[in-house]
Amino acid sequence: MNEYLKRIITEALRRLYPELEIPEIHLEKPRIAEHGDLATNVAMTLAKPLRMPPRGIAEALVNELKYDESQLESVDLAGPGFINFKFSPNWLYGALGEVFEKGDSYGKGTLLEGKRYQVEFVSANPTGPLTVGHGRNAVLGDTVARLFEWAGASVAREYYFNNAGRQMRVLGNSVSARYQQILGKDVEFPDGGYEGEYIRDIAAKMVEEYGDTYLSDPENVIFKETAEKVIFEDISVTLKRMNIKMDTYFNENDLYENGSIDDVLKRLEEKDLVYKEDGAVWFRTTKFGKEKDTVLVKSTGEPTYRLPDIAYHANKLDRGYDVCVDVFGADHIATYPDVISALSVLGYDKNRVDVLIYQFVTIVQDGKPFKMSTRKANFVTLDELMDEVGSDVTRFFFLMRSPGTHLEFDIAQAKESGEKNPVFYLQYAFARIQSIMRKVQETTEFKGEVDLKLLSHESEIKVIKSLLDFPDWIISAAMSKEPHRLINYLNELATDFHKFYHDCRIMGEDEKLAQARVQLLQAVSLVMKNGLTILGIEAPERM
């Protein structure tokens, strides 16, 4: 219906004002439901370019609109120039039929059809297991990728495998120190080393496999390589447990081996955007509005992470993706613009890089923020959190707030097994429908075709309209990169379902009406399941 309304509004405006540059037409639900199903403020946006009062533009537009009465029941003016549209009941019933025709595909759109998207997320350094701090990144990235797919795009999920640089050397040294200590050698643990118990576990496995073979060779690369392999295997298991599957993994070290790092530096030098000072190589970020220039290569000769990040993003764009989405925590908000600036001067379209910034997570236990420590075993890792509350609850809680807002993960609420738990509220709604359907199948055998026009109760019409909103909510959540919008929609649908079931009987009702209501329940079930699938959450038949 949205596209239909935008088309007839555009056609009317072209007839009225042939020279006018048609603006983007926005449609939204009126605040008061009785005013209609959708409204547009296009007349008010045209007041300035047309130098006319909005009400006059709206009146002319309403008179010029040519619409099918089988689709729209009425078109009315409101306030200073709003135009309200009310759907025809016949259109509602016809559109409801399309829900069943599309089934598991209902909600999938074509807005991004033909577009290649890449979503890079998690990308945690393989220096330890995934923590709660990585969880929001992981779930946001995966769900945004799902939304893009439902909007029609071809999507690749990529993990940037950060296995180069100082952190990995420190990781290897940490394992080496523990290896030596287990074998009885008195060595000092490296300053700033990784002290988690997992380091000792890796070292113990090496002792079990190699004995004291490397006791006299503490700098051997095998310590880093073993740790990297073990930790990344652990990360992969955690992601799988969270219902996340990566399509590609990109090895940072490849950027060094294939010359990409040197190539980027050379190209920036040719544009006089880098210079040497105090033994370091600097990027002239002051040319892009920053107060200070930025180090690209330290005086030790080691690149800062910005340089490989620039090379990596150039590589992504060279692979032909239309849009590359980065999922970053708030600590990147001041740093990623350097990468965007570099890509732009290197000749890339910076609009092809889209950054999703999310705020961090605070674990709340017993009503108080819980201080996490890598030396304690209280909800540090994602696996420990999932052990405590389950993978569905973990995913849902990471998604239920806008990415731009700080998230408090309340353990008590997450462990709540009743309807107070927001994810269970949705799952219970779905499971309840399945229970109703089983009872109906056991007691009733419907005959003949379903007459959806019998669905005329206020609660029934509200459910139908909610169901028909589903595709638009997917597009809204996808284009804003805000999965919580879909959660808000599903909550409203579940509430509408409960009211419908309270107001409208099935058992003991006229057979034809009961049959139509059962069909409506099936549609709610289908949409709930599709919505939960996008969120990566199970739709249970029983609870």
Angle 484-503/422-443 helices, nearest 10 degrees? 40
Domains of the chain by residue range: 2-87, 116-162+245-358, 166-241, 420-535
**Whole-angstrom distance, CA of residue 219 vs CA of residue 215:** 10
Per-residue pLDDT 10s for the chain (543 aa) are 888 899 999 999 999 999 899 988 999 988 888 888 999 999 999 999 999 999 999 999 999 999 988 899 999 998 899 999 999 999 999 999 989 999 999 999 999 999 999 999 999 888 888 988 899 999 999 999 999 999 999 999 999 987 767 788 899 999 999 999 999 999 999 888 888 889 999 999 999 999 999 999 999 999 999 999 999 999 999 999 999 999 999 999 899 999 999 999 999 999 999 999 999 999 999 999 999 999 999 999 888 889 999 999 999 999 999 999 999 999 888 889 999 999 999 999 999 999 999 998 888 877 777 665 443 334 468 998 898 889 999 999 999 999 999 988 888 878 776 667 889 999 999 999 999 999 988 887 788 788 999 999 999 999 999 999 999 999 999 999 999 999 999 999 999 999 999 999 888 788 899 999 999 999 999 999 999 999 999 999 987
3-class state of residue 537 by DSSP: coil
Order across the sheet with 82-87: list the strands.
27-28, 38-40, 82-87, 72-78
3-class state of residue 415 by DSSP: helix
* pLDDT the model gives residue 378: 43
- Residues facing residue 157 across a β-bridge: 119
User: Is 2-87's fold the same as 116-162+245-358's?
Assistant: no
DSSP state of 403: T
448 backbone φψ class: left, alpha, beta (φ>0; ψ -120 to 50): left
**Whole-angstrom distance, CA of residue 139 vs CA of residue 398:** 7
- The answer to whether 16 and 52 have CB atoms below 8 angstroms apart is no
- The answer to whether 327 and 399 have CB atoms below 8 angstroms apart is no
**Whole-angstrom distance, CA of residue 484 vs CA of residue 276:** 46
**Identity at 101, one-letter amino acid code:** E
**Whole-angstrom distance, CA of residue 100 vs CA of residue 450:** 12
N- to C-terminal Cα separation, the chain: 36
**Whole-angstrom distance, CA of residue 436 vs CA of residue 439:** 5
- The answer to whether 223 and 206 have CB atoms below 8 angstroms apart is yes
**Whole-angstrom distance, CA of residue 247 vs CA of residue 231:** 19
**Whole-angstrom distance, CA of residue 401 vs CA of residue 435:** 30
Looking at the whole model, is its pTM more than 0.85? yes
Place of tokens 């935008």: 6
Architecture of domain 2-87: 2-Layer Sandwich (3.30)
Characterize 106-144 residue by residue with b for buried, 16 or more Cβ atoms within 10 angstroms of its Cβ, and e for exposed: bbeeebbeeeebbbbbbbbbbbbbbbbebbbbbbbbbbb
* pLDDT the model gives residue 66: 92
Tokens for 236? Answer: 């992969």
**Whole-angstrom distance, CA of residue 352 vs CA of residue 155:** 14
Architecture of domain 420-535: Orthogonal Bundle (1.10)
**Whole-angstrom distance, CA of residue 537 vs CA of residue 432:** 17
The reply to whether CATH 3.40.50.620 applies to domain 116-162+245-358 is yes
Tokens for 423? Answer: 């994810």
DSSP state of 381: B
* pLDDT the model gives residue 418: 64
- The answer to whether 537 and 395 have CB atoms below 8 angstroms apart is yes
**Identity at 208, one-letter amino acid code:** E
Tokens for 208? Answer: 């079990």
